[in-house]
Structure 1
Amino acid sequence: MEAAEARERVFPLSAGILFRLGLGGFFDGIVLHQVLQWHHMLSSWYPIDTIANLELNTRWDGIFHSATYVFVVLGLFLLWRTAHRAHLYWSNKLLIGSLLIGWGLFNLVEGVIDHEILGVHHVNESLPRTQWIYWDIGFLLWGGAMLAAGLGLVQVGRAEEAAMARASV
């Protein structure tokens, strides 16, 4: 099998990561921002105590959701482009692993930058401020666990993919 042909049969890991970055962002925005209303995009900087601050936070929540939408569209494009190739050897573990990597990366980046460095919001601002750090740490630990599990599944999936390719030759 030629190297170019072998590359065409490989699962597009970037598609799964982009999908999960987008879906992780949707989960965060829908569940934490809208349903539970624990925080908004800039709620630590601009608390929801005036209509102007609510409008500002809602606008930035929308900008955030627009970015997550772009990630999902890019992931779909990469997956679709690869799916048109014949004789694919994809392991389900690669899809699940790449989704976990994307969501874990989302939690880690968003948790470190937005929660800790910038402090624009925290995971659960409905509790006393002294308890926010525990929710923020839990968010980071959950992100790290998903990233680690995803990396492990990708490693196993790559081995399955290679074994399937060898068996078809």
Structure 2
Amino acid sequence: MEDEDQAAPLVVVSGVSGSGKTTVGRALALQLGVPYAEGDDFHPPANVEKMTAGIPLSDADRRPWLDEIAQWLADHSLRGGVVACSALKRHHRDRLTSAAPNVFFVHLHGSAQLIADRMAARRGHFMPESLLQSQLDTLEPLSPDEHGAQVPIDGTPAETTRLAVDAVRAR
């Protein structure tokens, strides 16, 4: 059996909407040579409808979504993978960690203004900019005892990805 340091990395790219989870997550998975999953694809239609209507999700709304992502992580725990998932609260991350104890969180962090600007510029996403403040209010940053690293997003996507790769490899 491989020890944890030699196993393929299993990563959750976390952060509020608009922080770059999809962009960085895809690039990170490519660089690490592991599969990528888009966390938004795990949302039940009712969640997407709520967010599209500008209604923040409750923890009850997030539960089935987190369960699906937790299962994906468990299924990929040996071969590795990267999934984008906001994982805004500690208990969200604990749910994911309970299914995949070796998961590493890359928390993308930047100013509210930078993220709002990015959200305003993107097209075709169901999450409106009006929900950003509710996500920032909900966010609980990684605690020192959580397995992960905070990565700043104020550089280019390539720079952010490089920092994320470095953090994962240093795990």
Same structural fold, with TM-score higher than 0.5 when normalized by the shorter chain: no
| Higher strand proportion (structure 1 or 2) | 2
| Higher helix proportion (structure 1 or 2) | 1
Q: Which has the larger Rg? A: 1
TM-score by length of 1: 0.30
TM-score by length of 2: 0.30
